[in-house]
Amino acid sequence: MDEAIIDLNNLCFRWKKSGNILLDIPKFQLKQNEHVFLQGPSGCGKSTLLSLVGGILISESGSLKVLGQEIWDLSRSGRDAFRVDHIGFIFQLFNLLPYLSMEENVMLPLSFSSIRSNRAGKTKLDRLNEAQRLIKSLGLEEEQADKRPVIELSVGQQQRVAAARALIGNPELIIADEPTSSLDTELRHSFLDLLFEECKKSGSTLLFVSHDSTLSDNFKTKASMDELNIKYK
């Protein structure tokens, strides 16, 4: 039986100020090496669920294990360390450091995680070569991998840099939060193909979240927030 990368049970979350329950999820599992498409309209709690999985937010009740670790048993600093060691995030707005180069942005997680740094390469040159490989494999031309700040790149190029940053060091889990929302249809599908290929190479499990149902045909496994979150039933 495949190991559960995410194992969530009876999770309940509400924003303290409003007092209203936003998430009430009896069960959700993500198995090792799965690529799962999680769909739901804007405002349904998709990003909140991802923040809970990443240990950024804490629920008021329930169990959430990532790689067998009960996330809420960790201290805040422990959750931060766990996240950078084991989870690669691709954010909707990319969250790149605008005045760093592509290579510098891609290699940034390695400065905070010895685990991912060692996986990326034994020496600084090895790690640089891995960053350059990811940049090239995700569709950026070699001549673009220079010292220009990423703020000078197109939206599509910045998105690929964000993906390479998430993938470097082979984190066990990749979480992609609406990463294609700024791209046209052709770029969306080509990006997905590249992302799948790199996840397969690294053995990373992928949780891909989007409100765009047209992307779901690219995934064998699909889930819906309407079905997971019984608050809406």
DSSP class of 101: B
Q: Which of 3, 36, 14, 32 is nearest to 227 (CA)?
A: 36
Weakest mean pLDDT among 6-15, 175-184, 194-203: 175-184
Kindly tell me the burial class for residue 55, based on how many C-beta atoms sit within 10 Å of its own C-beta (0-12, 13-18, 19 or more): buried
Decide if domain 34-60+75-219 falls under CATH 3.40.50.1220: no
Residues paired with 87 in a beta bridge: 173
Q: pLDDT class for 143, splitting at 50, 70, 90?
A: low
| Three-class secondary structure of residue 4 per DSSP | strand
Model pLDDT, residue 182: 75
| Three-class secondary structure of residue 166 per DSSP | helix
Mean pLDDT value across the chain: 89
Domain extents for the chain? 34-60+75-219
Find tokens 């100020």 and name the residue. Answer: 17
Model pLDDT, residue 1: 43
Cα–Cα separations (whole angstroms), residue 212 to 38, 42, 154, 184, 222: 10, 10, 22, 12, 12
Q: Which of 39, 54, 49, 125 is nearest to 87 (CA)?
A: 54
Query: What's the chain's Rg over C-alpha atoms?
Result: 18
For 11-69, the pLDDT digits (tens) are: 999 887 667 888 999 999 999 999 999 998 888 889 899 999 999 998 989 999 999 99
Cα–Cα separations (whole angstroms), residue 232 to 45, 64, 71, 171, 228: 11, 21, 25, 33, 9
Model pLDDT, residue 153: 87
For 60-119, the pLDDT digits (tens) are: 899 999 999 999 899 999 999 999 999 999 988 788 999 999 999 999 999 999 999 999
Average the pLDDT over 158-178 and give the result: 92
Q: What is the pTM of this model?
A: 0.91
Share of the chain above pLDDT 90, in %: 57
